[in-house]
Amino acid sequence: MRSNNGLSYVRRSHINSGEPLVYIIIVNYNGRELLRRCLQSLRKTRYDNYRVLVIDNGSKDGSVEMVREIFPEVEIIALTKNLGYAKANNFGVVYALKHEAKYIVLLNNDTEILDPLWLYLAVKIMERHEDIGILGFNLILPNGRSQQYSDKTKPYEVSEISFAAAVIRAQVFRKVGYLDTEYVIGYAEDTDFCYRVRYHGFRVVYVPQIKIRHISMATFTRVPFNIVFQISARNSFRHFMQNKPLHELFVWFITAFIGVKNGRIVVRNDVKRLKGITYGFIVYVKEKGFQGLLELVIERLRKRLQAYF
């Protein structure tokens, strides 16, 4: 064990089997029991060349001590304070890249591995298709239902997937960059990143055959609902402004009031949708000010200009 700039970490011995090196990054904050169950399930994994890295965001519940005592094979970086979801994951990504990982898995601490071959199958798919930048799994909720794309029965290209469990090609981070730390508490970072990855020519693929249990929202049960709604609206507005093409903004506005029912055009009043984006705008301006909003618009214009020149 060694420490540097308030960080401490433990490395485990590792045998290179010739398979591509995969780093599994798990961010944790006061989630001791969730983390224990997640790490225990990871021991089922039948893939020789992987490492597990826990980034602990300054937990006070004994999470770090538990990992060191029960899971000595796990590498752990113990931060002295909570850096947030995006910064902590980025810290782990940089660490994994320095250790020459070819693939990086972002995994929530409230997940459990069901299929021992999950990682082997995922890497096999990505090795065959080098244009796949991100691969997502079938996240199974406690009620037995799929969290996303429940109608899919075979691998399918999608616009976005949840980073509760996702395999990302290391090359993607080198070309696209890291998670946007302007998003707060784990909302919309994955949506934003998927859009940027697709913008750079990579595919995002969802594989329903590989299932992972996900206790959705377990990390946020201690956060009041009104705060969750506020953060979600704020982040959605930022993503909307940063990534949505102008024609999609126009289509979104039109479909808020005009729809199709039984083959007929109907006029509707989708106040909920309009209120959500309006509330996100208000929250964002309160936080960043109109100067921050202007900077967001300028950043959007800069991205669009880069696409043409």
Beta bridge partner(s), residue 108: 27
Residue 284 pLDDT more than 80?
no
**Percent of the chain at pLDDT exceeding 90:** 54
Amino acid at 59: S
Mean pLDDT over all residues of the chain?
Answer: 81
pTM of the full predicted structure?
A: 0.75
Residue 197, C-beta contacts closer than 8 angstroms, at least 6 positions apart:
133, 134, 172, 176, 204
For residue 196, the model assigns a pLDDT of 87
Q: Write the burial class of residue 61 (CB in 10 Å: 0-12 exposed, 13-18 middle, 19+ buried).
A: middle
List the end-to-end C-alpha distance of the chain, in Å, as a whole number: 49
3-state secondary structure of 181: coil
Spatial separation of the C-alpha atoms in residues 253 and 37, rounded to whole Å: 44
Pick the closest to residue 133 from 106, 151, 113, 100 (CA basis).
106
Spatial separation of the C-alpha atoms in residues 168 and 244, rounded to whole Å: 22
Spatial separation of the C-alpha atoms in residues 89 and 91, rounded to whole Å: 5
Cα dist from 241 to 234, 276, 294, whole Å: 11, 14, 11
3-state secondary structure of 55: strand
| C-alpha torsion 142→143→146→148, nearest 10 | -80
Task: Report how far Cα 203 is from the mean position of its chain's Cα atoms.
Answer: 16
Q: Look-up: residue for tokens 């993503």?
A: 239
Higher pLDDT, 259 or 145: 145
For residue 13, the model assigns a pLDDT of 38
pLDDT in tens, 145-170: 999 888 888 899 999 999 999 999 99
- Over the Cα atoms of the chain, what is R_g? 20
3-state secondary structure of 35: helix
Spatial separation of the C-alpha atoms in residues 228 and 279, rounded to whole Å: 13
For residue 181, the model assigns a pLDDT of 80
Q: Write the burial class of residue 6 (CB in 10 Å: 0-12 exposed, 13-18 middle, 19+ buried).
A: exposed
For residue 285, the model assigns a pLDDT of 67
Find the mean pLDDT for residues 102-119. 97
